Copies of this chain bind each other. A is one copy, B any other.
Amino acid sequence: MRYYEDIELNKPQRFGSKQVTREEVIDFASKYDPQPFHLSDEIAAQTHFGRISASGWHTASMVMRMVVDYMSSGEGQAGLGSPGVDELRWVKPVYPGDTLSCETEMVEKRRSRNRPEMGITKSKLTCFNQHGEVVMTYIANGLIRTRDPGGVD
């Protein structure tokens, strides 16, 4: 199990491969983001998207699935959940037929002052399409158990 003390900063890690299907894009948009340009190629053709693209929240959700699969594939991490995300940016449209992958890099870590049993982390997440173009980025805030609550960095 990886604890706070095991986290190394500035070591980018690549993971994930997710094929985006037209059926899934339309299914997600119908439920959660039924803006016409996510549902109709004709309407999307009149916007800068050009054709149906995935809801930004769908992209974030597909990335979450890759993150969860990646986290559970290794030795495991003593994670305590996430209080939130900063600077979520939808940089380029995600289209049906795209294949998404991710890179994550821990950029900050500190021990909690009030709760020495946990550490607070910031990691930068980048999602790419099959052309290597960045389609989405965010900074994830994380909480993780310390192995030694009395330790100092």
Name A's B-contacting residues (CB within 8 A).
28, 31-35, 55-58, 60-62, 64-65, 68, 82-90
Contacts and interface: CB of A to CB of B under 8 A. Distances in A.
A84 B56 CA distance: 9
Nearest to A137: B84
Given A32-B61, A57-B64, A62-B32, A90 B86 contact: no
Contacts of A90: 82-84
A56 B85 CA distance: 10
Contact of A88 (B28, B58, B85): B85
Contacts of A68: 33-35
A89 B58 CA distance: 18
A22 B56 CA distance: 24
A67 to B, nearest CB: 9
A107 B57 CA distance: 22
Contacts of A57: 57, 60-61, 64
A87 B87 CA distance: 7
A85 B150 CA distance: 36
A147 to B, nearest CB: 19
